[in-house]
Amino acid sequence: MIYVIGGPTGSGKTALAIALAKAWHAPIINADAFQMYQELNIGTNKEILMMKPFKPFLFDEVSPLENLSVASYQQRFRKLIQTLLPNHPRIIMVGGTGLYMKASLYDFEFAPQQINLDLSKFDAFDNAQLHAYLATLDLEASQKIHLQNRRRVMRAIAILESTGKTKSEQEKNQLKTLLYPATFVGILPQREWLYEQLDKRVDAMFKQGLLEEVKTLFGKYGDTLLAFQAIGYKETIAYLNGKTTLDEAIQKIKQSTKRYAKRQITYFRHQLPMKWYRTWKEAYEALTA
């Protein structure tokens, strides 16, 4: 059985995963996109999971130079789970990236990663024009993709031109059958308490050295890597680039973290069959009773 622990950032998911791992002697699989990246430690709140024997699989193993995709995570997960399931009656999957969970646990298929099309005809389109063109082909996809995300807009267009089906049609045709035995557990604290904890965590990250960590990564890699779109990193890089003050960057991180938590709650509520608990301790008692 795979125990899938999800919910908003800061809710206590990790604490529950570690407590269950101790009680069940069970392995943990990470399902947080940015905790996959090496060197991004303080801003992704890795420390508690870095300590053996609870260091998870699919954790801290991808170079910041790599553009990790949902499809890549899915492949890694399915290869791993085939080795773990025969030897472990309980497996814990924990994280805040709900799409990684859904894509891995269900029969979720992706369009080909390499689409060999000449899309140079779109070079003259600015982002707004390109997004408007996508809307004429696949309105639903255009409503889900920000017009500034040129890479995703281009891919949605490429999928249609190479397969004859829109990205939305391909997603709707998926059966979404659960491939593995799984129990879905969600942690959803009171909003006021959660937001207070998130503010405290951001302050704690800077006390632990987030600014120094980002300075080191910025000096080593520059500021264009996909990994640096993680909350905490992009705002701090904006400060290092002189676009904002440090206080403004910290406040932006707090705002972005709360917005992200809200999006996570919405996704888990609508996309996965979670059984919700207010605290990780309440969930632990229910699962180990």
Both 99 and 228 in one domain: the answer is yes
Do 213 and 159 fall within a single domain? Answer: no
Residue 115 lies in a domain: no
Residue 124 is part of a domain; what is its CATH number? 1.10.20.140
Q: Which of 20-34, 119-133, 251-265 has the lowest mean pLDDT?
A: 119-133
Residue 113 within a domain: no
Whole-number pLDDT of residue 52: 65
DSSP 40-76: --TTTT-HHHHSTTSPPBSSS-B-TTS---HHHHHHH
Same domain, residue pair 133 and 264 = no
29 occurs within a structural domain: yes
pLDDT the model gives residue 199: 97
How far apart (Å, rounded) are the C-alpha atoms in residues 201 and 120? 45
| Domain presence at residue 114 | no
Q: Assess whether pLDDT exceeds 70 at residue 118.
A: no
- One domain for residues 142 and 211: no
- Is 259 a domain residue? yes
Please give the torsion angle defined by the CA atoms of residues 164, 165, 167 and 170, in that order, rounded to the nearest 10 degrees.
-140
Residue with tokens 């392995």: 27
- Greater confidence, 47 or 197? 197
What is the rounded CA–CA span in Å between residue 34 and residue 40? Answer: 8
pTM for the model:
0.80
Assess whether 150 and 167 both reside in one domain. yes
On the question of pLDDT at 48 being above 80, the answer is no
Regarding whether 90 and 215 lie in a shared domain, the answer is: yes
3-class secondary structure per residue, 221-270? HCCCCHHHHCCCHHHHHHHHCCCCCHHHHHHHHHHHHHHHHHHHHHHHHH
Question: What residue numbers bound the domain in which 203 lies?
Answer: 2-108+176-288
pLDDT, tens digit, 9 for 90 and up, residues 217-271: 999 999 888 899 999 999 999 999 999 999 999 999 999 999 999 999 999 999 9
Residue 130 lies in a domain: yes
Greater confidence, 164 or 266?
266
Specify if 275 maps to a domain: yes
pLDDT digits (tens, 9 = 90+) for 75-115: 999 999 999 999 999 999 999 999 999 999 998 876 554 45
How high does pLDDT run on average in the chain?
90
Rounded distance between C-alpha atoms, residue 75 and residue 80, angstroms: 9
- Same domain as 74, residue 32: yes
- List of residues 6+ apart from 156 with CB closer than 8 A: 134, 137, 138, 141, 142, 145, 166, 167
Distance CA 7, CA 274 (A): 9
At 17, list the tokens.
């995963």
Please check whether residues 145 and 280 belong to one and the same domain: no
By C-alpha distance, which of 110, 121, 107, 103 is closest to 163? Answer: 110
**275 and 184 Cβ atoms separated by less than 8 Å:** yes
What is the number of other CB atoms lying within 10 angstroms of the CB of residue 47? 10
Instruction: Judge whether 100 lies within some domain.
Output: yes
Task: Kindly state whether residues 87 and 156 are assigned to the same domain.
Answer: no
Domain containing 257 — which CATH number? 3.40.50.300
Is residue 186 located within the same domain as residue 85? yes
Spatial distance between the Cα atoms of 100 and 2, rounded to a whole number of angstroms: 14
pLDDT in tens, 176-216: 789 999 999 999 999 999 999 999 999 999 999 999 999 99
- Rounded Cα distance between 153 and 28, Å, is 35
Q: Which of 47-51, 163-167, 217-221 has the highest mean pLDDT?
A: 217-221
pLDDT score at 112: 52
Residue 150 and residue 96 share a domain: no
Contact present, 180 and 85 (Cβ < 8 Å): yes
Q: Give the pLDDT of residue 141.
A: 83
Q: Based on the structure, what is the number of domains in the chain?
A: 2
Domain boundary (157, 172, 187) is at 172
Phi, psi of 110, deg, nearest 5: -115, 155
Residue 21 sits in the same domain as residue 74: yes
